[in-house]
Amino acid sequence: MTKYPLPIYVQRFFTERLATQLRASPNTVASYRDTFRLLLKYASDRFGRAPTDLQVAEIGAELVGDFLDFVETTRGNGARSRNTRLSAIRSFFKYVAANEPQLLHHCQRVLAMPSKRHDKRAINYLNRAEIEALIAAPDIASWFGRRDRTLLLLALQAGLRVSELINLTCSDVVLGSGAHVRCMGKGRKERSTPLRKDCVKTLRTWLAERVGADAEPLFVSNRGDRLSRDAVERIVRKYADIALSKCPTMKTKRVTPHVLRHSAAMQLLQNGVDRTVIALWLGHESVETTQMYIHADIQLKEKAMTNTTPVGTPTGRYRPNDELIAFLEAL
The CA distance from 298 to 66, in Å, is 41
Least confident of 120-124, 179-183, 262-266: 120-124
| Dist. CA 9–CA 46, nearest whole Å | 20
pLDDT score for 284 = 82
Residues of the chain with CATH 1.10.150: 6-111
Q: Do the beta carbons of residue 80 and residue 118 sit within 8 Å?
A: yes
d(CA 89, CA 110): 8
> Could you read off the pLDDT of 3-41 as tens digits, one per residue?
899 999 999 999 999 989 988 888 889 999 999 999 999
Q: Which pLDDT belongs to residue 295?
A: 62
pLDDT level of residue 273 (50, 70, 90 thresholds) = confident
Q: What is the rounded CA–CA span in Å between residue 77 and residue 36?
A: 16
The pLDDT-based confidence of 52 (bands split at 50, 70, 90) is very high
What CA–CA distance (Å, rounded) separates 219 from 207? Answer: 10
Between these two residues, 199 and 23, which has the higher pLDDT value?
199
Task: List CB contacts of 77: < 8 A, sequence separation 6 or more.
Answer: 71, 85
Catalytic site residue from 90, 180, 182, 186: 186
- Nearest 5°: the CA angle 43, 46, 48 is 100
Query: Which DSSP category does 15 fall into?
Result: I
Contact predicate 94/81, CB 8 Å: no
Given 17, 85, 161, 275, the catalytic residue: 161
Of the pLDDT bands very low, low, confident and very high (cuts 50, 70, 90), residue 99 is very high
The distance from CA 234 to its chain's CA centroid, rounded to whole angstroms, is 18
Indicate where the chain has its CATH 1.10.443.10 domain(s). 128-305
Confidence band of 242 (pLDDT split at 50, 70, 90): very high
Candidates 82, 106, 146, 284; catalytic one: 284
Task: List the beta bridge partners of residue 191.
Answer: 183
Q: Is 320's pLDDT higher than 60?
A: no
pLDDT at 128 over 70: yes
Q: Using one digit for the tens of pLDDT, what is the confidence trace for 152-182?
A: 999 999 999 999 999 999 999 999 889 999 9
pLDDT of res. 185: 80
- Is 63:43 a contact under the CB 8 Å cutoff? yes
Partner residues linked to 55 by β-bridges: 5
How high is the pLDDT of residue 60?
95
In CATH terms, the superfamily for domain 128-305 is: Intergrase catalytic core (1.10.443.10)
pLDDT band at 149 (very low <50, low <70, confident <90, very high): very high
Q: Known catalytic residue: 186?
A: yes
DSSP characters for 31-59? HHHHHHHHHHHHHHHHHTS-GGG-BGGGS
Cα separation of 41 and 312, whole Å? 65
CATH topology of domain 6-111: DNA polymerase; domain 1 (1.10.150)
Asked if 143 contacts 251 with a C-beta cutoff of 8 angstroms, the reply is no
User: For residues 152 and 146, what is the distance between their CA atoms, to the nearest angstrom?
Assistant: 10
- 4 in active site: no
42: annotated active-site residue? no
Q: Which of 46, 191, 226, 258 is catalytic?
A: 258
Question: Of 293, 317, 318, 319, which is the active-site residue?
Answer: 293
Length of the chain: 331
Task: List Cβ neighbours of 97 (8 Å cut-off, separation of 6 or more).
Answer: 103, 104, 107, 108, 111
The larger pLDDT score, comparing residue 25 to residue 74, is at: 74
Q: How confident is the model at residue 133 (pLDDT cuts 50, 70, 90)?
A: very high
Q: For this structure, is 161 an active site residue?
A: yes
- 284 catalytic residue (yes or no): yes
**Could you say which of 85, 261, 262, 275 is catalytic?**
261
- Averaged pLDDT score across all residues of the chain: 88
